[in-house]
């Protein structure tokens, strides 16, 4: 029985990609209530503060770079446990 190396490489590559996705999801930090520390929060409002283009040089398209969009948000959340309402700001790159 001959080993099909292309199938082995493809399977190993797929496993590495899945593992990377799982690790990134586990490392994502969830916000906590500043009063009681609970992570059980409900988003009550989200406002976009600003958006801007970010150009990276030397990667992406054949023309030289890629353009990404960065959005700044202000989010109001309510804690399900203690009822505290608080606002936080964060950026998200797409």
CB contact at 8 A, 91 and 54: no
Mind listing the pLDDT tens digit for each residue in 70-92?
Answer: 889 999 999 999 999 999 888 88
The pLDDT tens digits for 23-41 are 887 887 788 999 999 999 9
At residue 60, φ and ψ (nearest 5 deg) are: 95, -125
In the structure, what pLDDT confidence band is assigned to residue 15 with cuts at 50, 70 and 90? very high
Percent of the chain having pLDDT more than 90? 34
Q: Tell me the whole-structure pTM to 2 decimals.
A: 0.53
* C-alpha span between 86 and 44 (Å, rounded): 10
Angle at alpha carbon of residue 29, lines to 12 and 82, rounded to 5°: 145
The alpha carbon of 73 is separated from its chain's Cα centroid by a whole number of angstroms, namely 14
**Domain residues of the chain, as ranges?**
5-93
DSSP secondary structure code for residue 30 in this structure:
P
């Amino acid at each position: 029985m001959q080993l099909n190396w292309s199938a082995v490489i493809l399977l190993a590559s797929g496993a590495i990609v899945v593992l990377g996705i799982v690790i990134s999801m586990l490392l994502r930090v969830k916000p906590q209530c500043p009063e009681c520390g609970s992570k059980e929060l409900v988003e009550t409002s989200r406002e976009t503060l600003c958006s801007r283009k970010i150009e990276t040089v030397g990667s992406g398209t054949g023309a030289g770079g890629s353009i990404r969009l960065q959005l700044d948000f202000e989010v109001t959340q309510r804690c399900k446990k203690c009822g505290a309402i608080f606002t936080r700001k964060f950026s998200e790159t797409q």
